[in-house]
Amino acid sequence: MSGGGLPDLPLIRVFGDERTARLLDSRATIRAWLDTERALAEVQAELGLIPADAARQIAEAAEAGAIDEDALAEGTRLVGYPILPLIGQLSRAGSPELAAYIHWGATTQDIMDTGLALVLGRVFDRVSELLGEVACAIAGLADTHRATIMTARTHAQPAVPTTFGAKAAIWLAEFARHRDRLATARRRACRISLFGAGGTAAALGDQSQEVRTRMAARLGLGDATVSWHTARDSLAEAAFVLGAISATCGKIAREVIDLSRPEIGELREVAGYHRGASSTMPQKANPIASEVVVGMSVLAAQQVPALIAAMSAGHERAAGEWQIEWDALPLAGSLAAGALANTLEILGGLAVYPDAMRANLVTDGGTIMAEAVMFRLAPHIGRTAAHDVVYDACSVSRERRINLHAALEATLTPEQVALLAPLDEVLNPASYLGEVDAMVNAALAMWGPEPCREGHA
């Protein structure tokens, strides 16, 4: 968003979202600055602040956009910022009247921040689009697999039964909250900036607020009544939302990696010839898209503290903190879009293995049903006593390598076993699913069915 575009970073270049890359390249950023200068001139002409002919020439020069990017970069290295050399190129290509009135009353940060708001809004729109596609794919999984029983794991160990649909519902609810956060962050970050050298708008004259209001409407941005030259909280919020979206993608990818291990075998990424292949181990089919998402999610999260640090800019203009945003925000946007695009690829080709999920329910002798047994006994012998006798039965199950059914019969008193009748029903994972179906319904309602029916079901 600074003008140089994103560097040639392998992760983003190879696996990133191409549309987002175009939104963030140097041409798109320069175009946003030119559009800002044009809107400023046109609004000022409407209000009689500059001659109409000067505004026309500025608009024509900005529309042509014939900017020498190498010269702009050289000028930026000299000045420290790109707007003065940008104006210089436009001025040299036009008449003295254009040069006299371009950039009237504005300062460099006004143009760059307004251009940033334009670019960031487009990135947010793309991220929102991808988020919707991912959420709809998750909604389909949640609904399809609402009754697909699997092992819930806590501390990476078997805990109690759940369903794959319930797991997906948790992901979906998180994305529903991200959708709300994204809309709020977009509204706060995508605002006009036009407050002049020291944030007072003195050079813009008595109609400064009217210029801002009309200019914001022309550019499709939010209005502003207080300078935000050094108030960067909205951009830090934007970075957090992008980082949080990436983190949720990373969580899903991590689950796919873990559950696709052959000894678990409950999920698998889409297959393909040489997809995830090893240079030396022919058997390999690594979860490469998931690995990409994990990497992107970690890098996206690292941009958040950078933007928090940029908030410390003091006085009325930053002295170095502002430059942090020039790289950190484009990275956060690119990584969030890339994480979403790759998550969509994962979900679109995800293989789900219900048979493996059912088989894994009994890999530890069926001790996954220990809590259900405990709460069946607890009303009769007390929760603590019930916990202890079932704990002992689970220990016997593991030591003797027998299932929980046999261990309970071997360790409980006949009276306690009678309290569990019929024992097979108590030990049936399908009988201990709690609110999983209601959770799926609630998550689907949180997201809303209409966007999926209209877009990506």
The per-residue pLDDT for 285 is 74
Once rounded to an integer, what is the mean pLDDT over residues 238-242?
98
Looking at per-residue pLDDT, the higher value among 99 and 276 belongs to 99
Catalytic-role residue among 91, 95, 145, 155? 155
pLDDT over 70, % of the chain: 94
Q: In which band, very low, low, confident or very high, does the pLDDT at 455 lie, cut at 50, 70 and 90?
A: very low
What CATH class does 10-358 carry?
mainly alpha
Residue 66 CA to residue 82 CA, distance in Å, equals: 15
Model confidence at 2: pLDDT above 50: no
User: How does the average pLDDT of the chain come out, rounded?
Assistant: 94
Whether residue 278 lies in the annotated active site: yes
Once rounded to an integer, what is the mean pLDDT over residues 85-100?
93
Once rounded to an integer, what is the mean pLDDT over residues 50-57?
96
SS (H, E, C) the chain: CCCCCCCCCHHHHHHCCHHHHHHCCHHHHHHHHHHHHHHHHHHHHHCCCCCHHHHHHHHHHHHHCCCCHHHHHHHHHHHCCCHHHHHHHHHHCCCHHHHHHCCCCCCHHHHHHHHHHHHHHHHHHHHHHHHHHHHHHHHHHHHHCCCCEEEEEECCEEEEEEEHHHHHHHHHHHHHHHHHHHHHHHHHHCECCCCCCCCCCHHHHHHHHHHHHHHHHHHCCECCCCCCCCCCHHHHHHHHHHHHHHHHHHHHHHHHHHHCCCCCCCEECCCCCCCCCCCCCCCCCCCHHHHHHHHHHHHHHHHHHHHHHHCCCCCCCCCCHHHHHHHHHHHHHHHHHHHHHHHHHHHHCCEECHHHHHHHCCCCCCHHHHHHHHHHHHHHHCHHHHHHHHHHHHHHHHHHCCCHHHHHHHHCCHHHHHHCCCHHHHCCHHHCCCCHHHHHHHHHHHHCHHHHHHCCC
Model confidence at 190: pLDDT above 50: yes
Lowest mean pLDDT among 6-10, 55-59, 124-128: 6-10
The per-residue pLDDT for 286 is 84
Once rounded to an integer, what is the mean pLDDT over residues 26-33?
96
The per-residue pLDDT for 283 is 66
Domains of the chain, residue spans: 10-358, 367-426
Whether residue 2 lies in the annotated active site: no
pLDDT (tens digit per residue) in 326-382: 999 999 999 999 999 999 999 999 999 999 999 999 999 999 999 999 999 999 999
Q: In which band, very low, low, confident or very high, does the pLDDT at 449 lie, cut at 50, 70 and 90?
A: low
Model confidence at 264: pLDDT above 80: yes
Catalytic-role residue among 278, 312, 395, 431? 278
Model confidence at 122: pLDDT above 80: yes
The per-residue pLDDT for 256 is 97
The per-residue pLDDT for 287 is 86
Model confidence at 276: pLDDT above 70: no
The per-residue pLDDT for 278 is 58
pLDDT (tens digit per residue) in 245-261: 999 999 999 999 999 99
The per-residue pLDDT for 270 is 80
The per-residue pLDDT for 94 is 86
Model confidence at 73: pLDDT above 80: yes
pLDDT (tens digit per residue) in 370-419: 999 999 999 999 999 999 999 999 999 999 999 999 999 999 999 999 99
The per-residue pLDDT for 161 is 98
Model confidence at 140: pLDDT above 60: yes
The per-residue pLDDT for 293 is 97
The per-residue pLDDT for 3 is 39
